[in-house]
């Protein structure tokens, strides 16, 4: 059976309830959404936290509570963001961004190999000093980095950190295409990026907005894994809001099954990603 991993990105930093009321915000909502995504076929859940004003936060206690609530219900792989703070000049201090990995030791965490202009309105800051610290913390804490790639140069940076021993092999990449400031969500770009990856790498892709479905189908055709969820797309189809993360996961699972593929279970995903079984 051709097993592919569905990763569900539930909340992100930017969407508000006023954009789509289905975006989960509290630990209870995020955990419930994670469990529904698992039941619909997701093997990985990528999580961000929000404070009471719905602003992004790296508050370890909110992550701790959410992880506990998810773990009470299912064994889905938990991937915590390293870029979910609104305090400070850009997106939080290095220590704040590393804390959930040091303290909670999730199976995976996002690792963004470069700084970029973000959506024409801010800077997504990933200073080399931060990346060196994050790499060391993730190795010490047994966290597998999900190497998020918004632009081709970021792949070269991952190779540099692999050589320095700050990212372990085999690496796992997550292409996030279609964010203003990064590469467009086109199949040509996906093919180009995939051909830059080192031997033995696993990879997944998501397209923001219009590119969502083409990138999903191309990733499956090219042997990759996929990410869906309200962090990336609040619409199910043009003009129609998605009703839940599970709805987006279910469409991906249906698409896979219609062409002879099967969504990987969390333990099958652990095998694909060289993570210890649970
Ligand atoms: Zn994220």
Distance 278 CA to ligand 1 centre (A): 24
Pairing of strands 172-177, 56-57: unpaired
Distance 47 CA to ligand 1 centre (A): 7
Under a CB-based contact definition with an 8 Å cutoff, are residues 31 and 47 in contact? no
Distance 242 CA to ligand 1 centre (A): 18
The string of pLDDT tens digits covering residues 86-126 is 765 555 689 999 999 999 999 999 999 999 998 888 889 89
Determine which of 120-129, 172-181, 192-201, 219-228 has the lowest per-residue pLDDT on average.
120-129
- The secondary structure element, H or E, covering residue 247 is helix 245-258
- Tell me the percentage of the chain whose pLDDT exceeds 70: 98
Distance 263 CA to ligand 1 centre (A): 21
Report CA 42 to chain centroid distance, whole Å: 12
Mean predicted confidence (pLDDT) in 187-215: 97
Distance 9 CA to ligand 1 centre (A): 6
Q: Where are the alpha helices (DSSP H) in 11-93?
A: 27-40, 60-71
Distance 7 CA to ligand 1 centre (A): 11
49: left (phi over 0), alpha (psi -120 to 50) or beta: beta
Q: Does the predicted TM-score (pTM) go above 0.95?
A: yes
* Residue 190 CB-density burial (10 A; 0-12 exposed, 13-18 middle, 19+ buried): buried
Distance 260 CA to ligand 1 centre (A): 29
Rounded CA separation 104/84 (Å): 16
Neighbours of ion ligand 1 (CB under 5 A): 81
Distance 189 CA to ligand 1 centre (A): 21
pLDDT at residue 92 in the model: 66
Determine which of 48-62, 114-128, 208-222, 254-268 has the lowest per-residue pLDDT on average.
114-128
The string of pLDDT tens digits covering residues 144-182 is 999 999 999 999 999 999 999 999 999 999 999 999 999
Rounded CA separation 84/181 (Å): 18
Query: Who wins on pLDDT, 119 or 48?
Result: 48
The CA–CA distances, whole Å, from 268 to 5, 71, 107, 213, 274 equal 8, 18, 14, 24, 10
Distance 90 CA to ligand 1 centre (A): 16
Rounded CA separation 72/160 (Å): 39
Rounded CA separation 204/253 (Å): 15
């Amino acid at each position: 059976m051709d097993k592919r991993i569905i990763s569900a990105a539930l909340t992100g930093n930017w969407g508000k309830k006023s954009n789509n009321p289905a975006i989960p915000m509290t630990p209870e909502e995020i955990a419930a959404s994670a469990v529904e995504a698992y039941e619909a076929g997701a093997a990985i859940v990528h999580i961000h936290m929000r404070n009471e004003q719905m602003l992004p936060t790296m508050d370890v206690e909110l992550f701790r509570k959410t992880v506990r609530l998810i773990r009470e219900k299912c064994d889905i792989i938990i991937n915590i963001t390293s870029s979910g703070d609104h305090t400070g000049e850009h997106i939080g201090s290095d220590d704040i961004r590393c804390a959930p990995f040091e303290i909670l030791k999730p199976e995976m965490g996002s690792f963004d190999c470069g700084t970029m202009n973000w959506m024409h309105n801010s800077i997504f800051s990933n200073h080399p000093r931060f990346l060196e610290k994050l790499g060391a913390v993730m190795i010490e804490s047994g966290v597998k980095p999900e190497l998020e790639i918004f632009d081709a140069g970021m792949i070269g940076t991952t190779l540099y950190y692999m050589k320095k021993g700050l990212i372990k092999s085999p690496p796992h990449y997550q292409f996030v295409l279609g964010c203003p400031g990064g590469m467009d969500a086109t199949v040509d770009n996906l093919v180009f990026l995939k051909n830059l990856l080192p031997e033995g790498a696993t990879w997944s892709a998501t397209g923001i907005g219009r590119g969502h479905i083409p990138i999903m189908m191309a990733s499956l055709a090219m042997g990759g894994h996929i990410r869906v969820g309200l962090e990336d797309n609040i619409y199910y189809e043009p003009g129609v809001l998605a009703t839940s993360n599970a709805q987006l996961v279910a469409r991906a699972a249906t698409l896979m099954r219609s062409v002879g593929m099967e969504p990987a279970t969390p333990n099958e995903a652990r095998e694909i990603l060289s993570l210890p079984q649970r």
